[in-house]
Amino acid sequence: MLGWLFPTCPLSTAEKVWVESRMSWLAEKLGANRLTSAVVVEPTDEYFPEPYQGQDRDAEGIFHKVCRWMAIDSASVRCELSDRIDGGAQSDYVGMYVPGDTARVLLRRSELSDPESLVATIAHELAHHILLGGGHLKDNNEDLERLTDLTTVFCGMGIFCANSALRETTIREGRFSWWSLSKKGYLPLRMRGYGMSLFAWARGERKPEWMKALRLDARESMSNGLRYLWKSGDSVFRINRDIAEATNTVAERGAGRLTHHSASFRFLGLWELLDETAVSTAVIDKVANLTNDHDPDISSTAARLLGVIGKPAQAHVPRLLDMLGNRATSDREQAAFALGELRPNEPLVCRELARLLDDEKTEVCCAAAEALGKLGPPAQSAAKQILKRYEKALIKCDASVDPLALALTRVFPDAPALVREHFSDVDAELCSYAEQCLTDVQTHNGSS
C-alpha cells in the first residue's frame, strides 16, 4: 500500500546501468582493493596541512599527494605547468595528459588561483594515466572522458571532482558585482553522486561522514542512491566478478538477462547483445517482447537492437510500426531507426515514416528522414512530405537539414532537379541554399 514511499534511483535506467557496469569494469581492471582501501580525500587541513600560496611548487606538492592517494607511482608521470595548453582545435584546456615512457600531466597556471579546482584537474588527468597509461583503454574510446571522471570516484577523489564540476563565482568591484558559472568535467553531477553511492555501498558505508563535504546537488544524488541501494540491492555493480557469469559468453549472459525482474538487468542484457553478430530466433523474440516494456530506456533499446539484428528480425516489423505512435520520444526515434535498417518493402512503412517528418521532436524527424533514405527509391511516394519538411528545416536551420538532404539524394536519382522545381515558386536564395546542402551531403557521404 505504501510502495510509493520506497526509495527510487536518482538516475534513468540507461544512466544507472552505465555507471554500475562501468564501476564493475573498473573493479575488474584495477582490482576491488583499489576501491575498498581508497583514501577518501576531503578539502580539509587533515589532507592539506601545508600553507598554500598559489606557486608552482604548491601544485607540484599537491600532484605528488594525489599520486599517492590514487595509488600511482609518481616516477611514472611528471607534472608540468604552463601559461597556455594547446589542445589542437581547443586551446583553453586547464589540464592535459600526454602519454610516454614517462607520462606528463600539463596544468595551466590559471588553475593555481583555485586550489580545489586544481586538485580536481590533477585527479582527472591522473585518471587518464591509470586508464591509458595502464593500457586499459584506447584514447578513441567513446566514453573515455566520462569513464575518466568515474575513475576519480573509484580512487577516492570524487569529492573534489564533484565539487569542481560546476564553479559558481561572484565577482565584486566597487558598487558592481556579477555572478558566473563554469562547467568542468564530462559526467553529470547526478551520475557522479550516484557513482559515489556505489563507492560507499561497496565499502559497507550507509551514511559516511565524508558525504557532508560534497556540494548539495551531488550529495542529494548520493544520499538518494545510498537509500535506494541499501533498501533494494538492485544493482548490476559487482565489486567482485561472478564466477558463474564469467564462464558464460556475452551472448549467453545478455540473453539470460532479458526476462529478469529488474529493469537494470533487462537493459544490460539488451546492451550486451548490441555488439553480438548472431542472435538466435528465441532471443530475437524475447527482444521483441521488450518493445512493450514500461521503461522507455528498455523499449527503445529493444527496438534499436531489432534494427541492429537486421533481416532475422523482419517478422517484428508490425511491432516497430506500432511504436511509431508511442508517447516516448526515444521509442519513436529508435523504431524509425530499426525500420530503416530492416528496409521492409511495405507501402505502410513509407507512409508512417513520412508522417514522422512532422514530429515535434527534431531527433524523431531526423531518424525518420534517415530511414526513408535507406528505403531508397521505394520511398518516392513521400516526395511531397520530404520536400515540405526540407524547406521548413532550411528556414529554421535545424538539425534535420542534413538527414533530409541525404534522404533526397538517396530516394531520388535527380534530387537537384526535384529541389529546383519545388523551390522555383518559393525563393531563389533558399533554392540555392537547398542545392548547396544536397551537394555537401553527397560529398561528405561519398568521402565517408
Q: In this predicted structure, what is the pLDDT of residue 116? A: 93
Query: What is the rounded average pLDDT of the residues 19-36?
Result: 96
Q: Which residues pair with 172 in a beta bridge?
A: 177
Q: In this predicted structure, what is the pLDDT of residue 246? A: 59
Contact 308, 274 (CB under 8 A): yes
What percent of the chain is predicted at pLDDT more than 90?
Answer: 77
| Confidence band of 276 (pLDDT split at 50, 70, 90) | confident
Q: Which residue has the higher pLDDT, 446 or 380?
A: 380
φ, ψ for residue 227 (rounded to 5)? Answer: -60, -45
Q: In this predicted structure, what is the pLDDT of residue 180? A: 35
Could you tell me the domains of the chain? 3-232 (no CATH), 247-344 (1.25.10.10), 346-448 (1.25.40)
Give a three-class secondary structure readout of the chain.
CCHHHCCCCCCCHHHHHHHHHHHHHHHHHHCHHHHHCCCCCCCCCCCCCCCCCCCHHHHHHHHHHHHHHCCCCHHHEEEEEECCCCECCECCCCEEEECCCCEEEEEEHHHHHCHHHHHHHHHHHHHHHHHHHCCCCCCCCCCHHHHHHHHHHHCCCHHHHHHCCEEEEEEEECCEEEEEEEECCCCCHHHHHHHHHHHHHHCCCCCCHHHHHCCHHHHHHHHHHHHHHHHHCCCCCCCCCCHHHHCCCHHHHHHHHCCCCCHHHHHHHHHHHCCCCCCCHHHHHHHHHHHHCCCHHHHHHHHHHHHHHCHHHHHHHHHHHHHCCCCCHHHHHHHHHHHHHHCCCCHHHHHHHHHHHHCCCHHHHHHHHHHHHHHCHHHHHHHHHHHHHHHHHHHHCCCCHHHHHHHHHHHCCCHHHHHHHHHCCCCHHHHHHHHHHHHHHHHHHHHC
Given the C-alpha cell 529493444, which residue does it identify? 302
Q: Which residue has the higher pLDDT, 111 or 167?
A: 111
C-alpha grid cell for residue 13? 535506467
Q: Which residue has the higher pLDDT, 369 or 164?
A: 369
Q: In this predicted structure, what is the pLDDT of residue 446? A: 67
The CA distance from 254 to 256, in Å, is: 5
Q: In this predicted structure, what is the pLDDT of residue 174? A: 43
Query: What is the rounded average pLDDT of the residues 280-292?
Result: 95
- Can you say how many angstroms the Cα of residue 361 is from the centroid of all Cα atoms in its chain? 20
Contact 382, 353 (CB under 8 A): yes
Query: What is the rounded average pLDDT of the residues 198-224?
Result: 96
Please give the mean pLDDT across all residues of the chain: 90
The CA distance from 99 to 9, in Å, is: 37
The CA distance from 269 to 430, in Å, is: 47
Q: In this predicted structure, what is the pLDDT of residue 178? A: 39
Summarised one tens digit per residue, pLDDT across range 183-204 is: 566 899 999 999 999 999 999 9
Q: In this predicted structure, what is the pLDDT of residue 182? A: 45
Lowest mean pLDDT among 10-19, 64-73, 244-253, 266-275: 244-253
Given the C-alpha cell 523504431, which residue does it identify? 335
Given the C-alpha cell 589542445, which residue does it identify? 87
**The one-letter amino acid at 352:** E
Q: Which residue has the higher pLDDT, 239 or 69?
A: 69
Residue 172 has pLDDT above 50, yes or no: no
Lowest mean pLDDT among 79-93, 188-202, 251-265, 410-424: 79-93
Q: Which residues pair with 168 in a beta bridge?
A: 181
Q: How many residues does the chain have?
A: 448
| Confidence band of 427 (pLDDT split at 50, 70, 90) | confident
Query: What is the rounded average pLDDT of the residues 359-363?
Result: 96
**The one-letter amino acid at 97:** Y
Q: Is the pTM of this model over 0.85?
A: yes
**The one-letter amino acid at 388:** K
The CA distance from 338 to 117, in Å, is: 44
Residue 175 has pLDDT above 50, yes or no: no
Minimal CA–CA distance to 336: which of 348, 320, 314? 320
Q: In this predicted structure, what is the pLDDT of residue 443? A: 86
Lowest mean pLDDT among 90-94, 126-130, 184-188, 443-447: 90-94
